[in-house]
Amino acid sequence: MSSKKEADIFELYAKDPEQADEIVFGRVPDEGRRGFLRGAGLASMGALLGASIPFHRNMPSGLIPAALAENAFRIKGKDGLTILNDRPVNAETPAHLLDDEVTPTNRHFIRNNGTPPTNTASENWRLAIDGEIEKPLNLTIEELRANFQQYG
């Protein structure tokens, strides 16, 4: 067993980006202006096309490749879901996790067409029943819990 401390890629690049390039990719930076422009052009082309760049040796030195720079996106309380997007948040449950007769909350899919609401405290929620009715109602969550039978 090695006594060497393993550093994550962010620590490695923060300490010495050029040494990190040599450790991770085995490349030595091209100090010249042409080397930089060549690498920047290839990186821009890859970003524009949305493709990974297999010829990483031609990238500018000292930069963490985008595929390695992203932290894994997680949704609290939703383990096992497949994240489709993080802006807006969209996630689905893999078929092998849908064995239950009723889908539990932690495995229910997530679909957002915009930004999720910031005020998620249930004490501020209200249910409004109005329209062409004789007696409009506006109930809090607590009133619903206290006045109606719950089924679970």
CB 64 within 8 A of CB 25: no
- Residue 89 domain-assigned? yes
- Residue 34 domain-assigned? yes
Q: Tell which wins on pLDDT, 7 or 139.
A: 139
pLDDT tens digits for range 104-127: 888 888 888 887 777 778 888 899
**Number of structural domains in the chain:** 2
d(Cα 63, Cα 18) in Å, to the nearest integer? Answer: 8
CB 61 within 8 A of CB 21: yes
Which residue, chain included where needed, has tokens 């894994």?
Answer: 72
- Residue 142 domain-assigned? yes
Is residue 88 domain-shared with residue 142, that is, in the same domain? yes
- Residue 93 domain-assigned? yes
d(Cα 144, Cα 100) in Å, to the nearest integer? Answer: 28
Residue 4's pLDDT is 59
Is residue 89 domain-shared with residue 53, that is, in the same domain? no
| Domain of residue 59, residue span | 9-69
Is residue 62 domain-shared with residue 91, that is, in the same domain? no
